[in-house]
Amino acid sequence: MSSLNYQHFHLVGIKGVAMSALAQILFDMNKNVSGSDVAEDFVTMDQLKRIGVTIQTSFLEPLPDGTDCIIYTAAHQSKNNPQVQAAIKQGLPVYSHAEALGLLFQEKIGIAVCGVGGKSTISAMIAWVLGVTCREPAFAVGVGSIVGLEKTGSWSEQARYFVAEADEYVTDPTEVDASKRRPRFSYLKPKMIVCSNVLHDHPDVYADLDATKKTFTNFFNSLPAGGTLIIASATGTEYVLREDIKKSTYGTNDEDDFRLEKNTKVENRMIIGRLWHREESFELKLGVPGFFNLLNATAAFAASLKLDIPEAEILDALSSFRSTKRRFEYLGEKQGVRYYDDYAHHPSELKAVIAAFEQWEPDSRKVVAFQPHTFSRTKALFSEFVTALAGVKELILLDIYASAREGLDSSISSKILAEAVQRESPETKITIVANFQDLAEYFRNDLKSGDVCITLGAGDIYQAHGFLK
């Protein structure tokens, strides 16, 4: 990797899913990798242990001997992090995660997957199809693990393609001058972009949906002449694109280039749909629940077809895909109760996952536990959260999980959210617990054999499952 020609990389915030994937890539390049982060466990720990990374649990510790490059994220004060500041004072090269990812894109044919909801799964699906069809890719997917691939970041000199998530969040949210806050995906120069959705998801950096759409439009237009954009038709049509960009749409509309029929069925733990392309139809089968996952698979099908993989090979590969960690992940059965977990944290994601949960487990008592993620998102999208949660028969709400990027906001709380949901849906049974430890206790005392439960949220709610025996 000529653009990052260093030997010992120190990753500040290494336990994050994106940084963990990058650490695995650097490991594949035979680089020395160390890192620092908070002491708590993350979903990435197994991957980091696999590659033997030494992790400091304080940002005040001195940089490891031999460190010659620092990579940081927005999660821990960005450039204001003590270790990053120490590196700058020592004259060491410093890159944001987005800048490092952008340099990797220069080495391969880049496939960037963006959007609010679906980008992790679509990225994993494309990497899976390429791998199963013997077109081994390099990839970086922001999840804890991918079933069957056993890693979330991979690199080889022989790989032709590099598949990676492209995040619209800004590199440095601590930047006082908002005009200098650069979207993370603006550093990437892909040949293909897949976009799953465009929604207002980061009110701390984007004022509204229009501002979000403008940011995505700029990214789409960064494609080179002849570049490919595969975009969900549900995102709308108000994106002004250059004429030399090859655009394809996917969705459920008759005019979509890749059209998924709305009617589906579940047989033998497979969800089955029908996909149309150029007046030809295909049976699309997935071993992961939800119509939204069939849409994700449709996007992966379209991208793979653009890479000249035959339809039959793509469909066969997708039928063997078994999802990623924290994406409608089946965790197993304990005391007769079946448990699932999902990262859903935006109202649109909640609606999709809850609908899939109802379809996948039609005959059981179902309990939904949700941990709102960030005060700013909960407050800005409050009415959408109420709509998404109304109608759930049994709902458990945890206290809002505060991001490392924000402070407390007493004007919004899970109690306020619960009261609003109750007004909208009086028949919903709502329980509030403080944290994942209390949630595990609730599971032990209240759930019975035959029940099913799903935990939702981008915080630490998943850790409740570790307390169950």
The pLDDT of residue 1 = 46
pLDDT band for position 203 (cuts 50, 70, 90)? confident
Going along the chain from its start, the domains and CATH numbers come out as: 2-95 (3.40.50.720), 108-319 (3.40.1190.10), 329-467 (3.90.190.20)
341, 271 in Cβ contact below 8 A?
Answer: no
Answer whether residue 2 shows pLDDT above 60: no
Query: Tens digits of per-residue pLDDT, 253-310?
Result: 999 999 999 999 988 888 999 999 998 999 999 998 888 899 999 999 999 999 999 9
Query: Tens digits of per-residue pLDDT, 170-187?
Result: 888 777 777 778 999 999
Q: Quick one: which H or E segment has residue 124?
A: helix 119-132
Query: With pLDDT > 70 as the criterion, what percentage of the chain qualifies?
Result: 99
91, 85 in Cβ contact below 8 A?
Answer: no
Answer whether residue 326 shows pLDDT above 50: yes
The pLDDT of residue 469 = 63
Answer whether residue 3 shows pLDDT above 80: no
Average pLDDT over residues 322-335: 84
How would DSSP label each residue in 217-273? HHHHTTSPTT-EEEEEGGG-S-----TTSEEEEEESSTT-SEEE-S--EEETTEEEE
How would DSSP label each residue in 135-152? -PPEEE--SS-BTTT--S
318, 129 in Cβ contact below 8 A?
Answer: yes
Cβ count within 10 A of residue 406 = 13
328, 311 in Cβ contact below 8 A?
Answer: no
Spatial separation of the C-alpha atoms in residues 414 and 426, rounded to whole Å = 17
What is the overall mean pLDDT for the chain?
Answer: 92
Pairing label, strands 32-36, 54-56: parallel
More confident residue, 162 or 291: 162
Spatial separation of the C-alpha atoms in residues 162 and 167, rounded to whole Å = 16
Stated pTM of the model: 0.84
Residue 48 CA neighbour count, 13 Å, CB half: 26
How would DSSP label each residue in 341-406? EE---SHHHHHHHHHHHHHHSTTS-EEEEE--B-HHHHHHTHHHHHHHHTT-SEEEEEPPBPPTT-
Spatial separation of the C-alpha atoms in residues 339 and 436, rounded to whole Å = 14
Answer whether residue 221 shows pLDDT above 80: yes
pLDDT band for position 464 (cuts 50, 70, 90)? confident
Query: Tens digits of per-residue pLDDT, 223-252?
Result: 999 999 999 998 887 788 999 999 999 999
Query: Tens digits of per-residue pLDDT, 390-436?
Result: 989 999 999 998 877 777 888 999 999 999 999 999 999 999 998 88
The pLDDT of residue 184 = 93
